[in-house]
Structure 1
Amino acid sequence: MITWPFTTLTPYEERWSLDGVALNGPTSASGLNRFAKTDGGGFWTCQQKFFFHRPAQIKAARAIEALLDGGATSIIIPAFERPFAPYPNGYSAHLVPHSDGTPFSDDTLYEGGLIDVTLAADAALRATTLQLSVTAVAPLEGGERFSIVHPVLGKRLYTVASVGEVSGGVQQIKCRPPLREAATAGTELDFDKPGCIMRLANARDFLSALNVARHMTCEAVWVESFDAS
């Protein structure tokens, strides 16, 4: 599956939100609106804004646009969570070579994650309370985002809604949305590079016209895709 090239095409603004979490019922006799929470927890939408001033960026954006087939093809959209991720000791990443100790052909290295968190117990479909085995992570405070790569639905995004006590290396959290798919103990929670499988919802207005200075803007509206990965 395509992954948005976050390093090359970094948004200067983005907003993730869960839509469809609650249903608005009829107005009562007293004039109050009634709301009911949906079991599935809604779906993610994401709005991102970009400014491209280098030819490599513009060509990369055009290539992605072509591959998305007007929104018919799903893509993994990373969330810009590095400033908020619970990196142990404040470090955001470390660089590692290939397994044989060699770098890439241009002498660059892989960027490896430092956060090590897994499920300490099985979690059912639509679970909102998770037991975590915390090996390498800063104290969770709530508001952090992570992903789980599910066997069928692939990479999904979650937010830590509240944090319980740590006991014996196990921490309880509440998350939203509810789990999209059941997960087994030992499943990794990706706090380093969270993201979600999405579809482009504004294909017609995705890329702006190329201006006289050969600059281009991009405003992407993404909607969570539930096709199998």
Structure 2
Amino acid sequence: MNWAQMYDCYGDVDRVPELLARVEREDDAEAWDELGYRLILEHDLVFPASFAALPRLVHLASRCAAARELAGAIVRRAAGNHGCDDLLAGCVAAIAEFRELLDRHLRSRPGDYLVTFRALIAVEGHYHWSAALGDFSDDFYQVTCPHCAVEVTIAIGDHGRYSAIRDWNLGDVDRRALRPVPAEELSSTGRWMYETVLRDGEVVLADGITHLFGQAECPRCASVFNVADEYASSNRPPI
């Protein structure tokens, strides 16, 4: 690895390899913190050093939660306009290894289940779901009705599972109950997500996914549409 070309968010080329060497020797909390803000700027942008560091982070991830979290955060931003597609292509083997590691970790039903699951979703290439998926305690998704083009708020949480028109003075008005998809009718991404979390005993996530991939009624025109399809069409990255 030619670190002389692998700049971080500050434009430095020497600090990240020094920090990686530190955390490889010992679990250094201060070094992990600095790595985090050098490799991911404001929790959004990634840099050449981010992908250069990824294989070493994956190597540490089986025994270090900080490495697993940082590697996941980098992969989750791989669809951005980072200009590092060649470096990302060079991480194929590391990402495949990371996928197996994440899946094993999920099977242990860890305390950081959702963080790990979102990383696995990104590894599978579903970046829009990795960015948006919550724990379904208070989740909201903004979609556009495909029939009348009104903006519809989709709520999936402890306070209700509905479609509505959001009024910033009155709140969510004209609520319509969501129509969850029967588990046996899930397909493709939705089925994979559902079967993974159900396998691991995450029943709240599983139920939320049936609503996310189910149908909603538009409060304005009363047409019915698939929530996941409309959300994905607006938020799926171009790659």
Q: Which has the higher strand share?
A: 1
Of structures 1 and 2, the one scoring higher in RCO (CA 8 A, sep 6+) is: 1
The TM-score normalised by the length of structure 2 is: 0.23
The TM-score normalised by the length of structure 1 is: 0.23
Q: Which has the higher helix share?
A: 2
